[in-house]
Structures are given as structure tokens and as C-alpha cells.
Amino acid sequence: MSTAAAHPVAAVCQATATPDKEANFSACKRLVEEAKGRGASMVFLPEGFDYIGSSREETLALSESLAGDTISRYTQLARKLEVWLSLGGFHERGHEWETDRRIYNSHIIINDKGDVVSVYRKSHLFDVELPEKGVSLKESAFTIPGPSLVSPVQTPIGKVGLGICYDLRFPELSLALRHHGAEILTYPSAFTVATGAAHWEVLLRARAIETQCFVLAAAQVGRHHEKRSSHGHALAVDPWGEVLGDCGGESPGLALVEINLDRVGSTRRNMPVERHRRDTGFYRSVEET
């Protein structure tokens, strides 16, 4: 008797990256292998899956191009296991690296043949000072904002729209992806402990509810080095806003979730917000009053 799921399965992963790229690859490879073994056709890894550096200098020194060793190893892994991968935030050397030493934060989709089919470069950079919460990060000090959104990618689990971490706070991005056919939105992240506790789940559920999409958010968890920790709680949310999987706030692991696209269709039919939405000019009309 077949035990295969009736619908395709996605694996949303949680990891604890450090500055040790080799250890990070081994840990992520184990997660991908486990996910594939448990029936996943697409595996989602978090932002900073490659590493999380302990200083600006280290972060830049460890970066690579898309043609480098790290992505090459993941394309081989995808091909060998015949699984799709969402690599949620890769430190990619910018096109002017030799002169400006700046990088992109890049979300890379690899298909089950090992081809890179899409690259989205994070467009909203996390420059936030919350002194009372002990949060101080300035991503723009070394990262170039991405030039544009990318079209949702057709995958075995549905049409996936790509975001990264701080992008979650900008509903315009999720609505734009929804308008272009997204059925699933992704927000691979390394949320801080303070902002994660306050905003992570509620924002992911809000994005799911307003777009009537599945939302898959792989996450970093725990202590990366002495200066940085992440909130965890890698999450899968359905188009009604219900949490289908939560990896918790303690340790690496994964959550498997069946992606039943009929849930997208029925949610949108029963509450057709897209049909009820006014044209973009209408929402700007407040400026003219």
C-alpha cells in the first residue's frame, strides 16, 4: 500500500548557522536528506543558511559568487536527491565586488535537476536600532538592495513567490507577488529574538490572510556566535491563517506540510478579496482630498 501523501509535501527547516561554513553545510545537508526521506518534494532553508558571520569583515570575507563552491554543492545535492531547494539567503558577492566589497542577500531556487531557476535579491534591508531591546543591525552597511521583485516560480508544490526576512514587513511586496500568481509566499529569516517574539507569527499569519496564500518561513534559531541569536519558530501557515507547522524556539529541525492548493482556490472563492480590491488609483485618491 502506498503511503505517499495525496498532495505534495514541503519541508520548512530551522538551523543554527555559525561562521563555520563546512559545519553549516553538513547540518543543512542532513536536514535536506531527512526531508527527502520523509517525502518532501521541496525543502526550504533559512536566510544565512551558508553562514552567519560575527563581524562585517568576516561576513564579507566568507561571501562567494553564485558560481562558487557553496551553490555548486547545493546544486549537486538537489540533483542527487531529486528535490527542489529554496536557499533562503545567500551572501552573494555583488557585481562590483572587486571595487566596492559589497554583497547581495540572495534567495536561490534550485530545481530537482540541479539548475538554478530563480534568484531574488533582498530588497528591504534591516537597518534597525532598538536600544531598549538590545537590537542594533545595519544590513545596508555591506549589502546592496535588490533591483526588483522576481516572478513567482512554478514548482512541484505550486507557484512560489520569493521574499527574505525583513521583506515580511512590507505587504506591498506580498500583494505584488499575489497579483502575479503566487499561491505560496516564502520568508526565510533570521529574526532577532526581540522582534521575533513580538512580530514573527502575527506578520506571517497576516501575509497569509491578506493574500490567501500558503506562507512558508524557514528560520534561524539559537545562538550563532557571542553577538547574535535568532528567534526560531520556522512556520508554515495556510491561506486561512492557520498555523500548520512550527519548529519551536529551541533547536534545529524541520516541519513537513502538505500543500493542498485546493485550499487556496476555495479560500479565494469563498472570500474573493482580490475581486473586491479597488484599482491602485483608488488607494492613492486619499492624497488628492
Catalytically annotated residues? 47, 122, 165
287 lies in some domain? no
Instruction: Find, among 18, 20, 19, 46, the residue nearest to 31 by Cα.
Output: 46
Supply the pLDDT for residue 1: 43
Residues 24 and 64: their CA atoms lie apart, in Å, by 15
Instruction: Find, among 123, 187, 191, 126, the residue nearest to 161 by Cα.
Output: 187
CB burial of 4-18 (b: ≥16 within 10 Å; e: otherwise) equals ebebbbbbbbbbbbb
Q: Stretch 274-289: mean pLDDT, rounded?
A: 88
In tens, the pLDDT along 117-162 reads 999 999 999 888 888 887 777 889 899 999 999 999 999 999 999 9
CATH number of the domain enclosing 120: 3.60.110.10
123 lies in some domain? yes
200 lies in some domain? yes
Q: Stretch 223-241: mean pLDDT, rounded?
A: 95
Counting every residue, how long is the chain? 289
Q: Which residues constitute the domain of residue 23? A: 9-279
284 lies in some domain? no
In tens, the pLDDT along 169-225 reads 999 999 999 999 999 999 999 999 999 999 999 999 999 999 999 999 999 999 999
Contact 224, 17 (CB under 8 A): yes
288 lies in some domain? no
Residue found under cell 535536506: 32
Beta-carbon count within 10 A of 97 CB: 14
Q: What is the mean pLDDT of the chain?
A: 95
Number of domains in the chain: 1
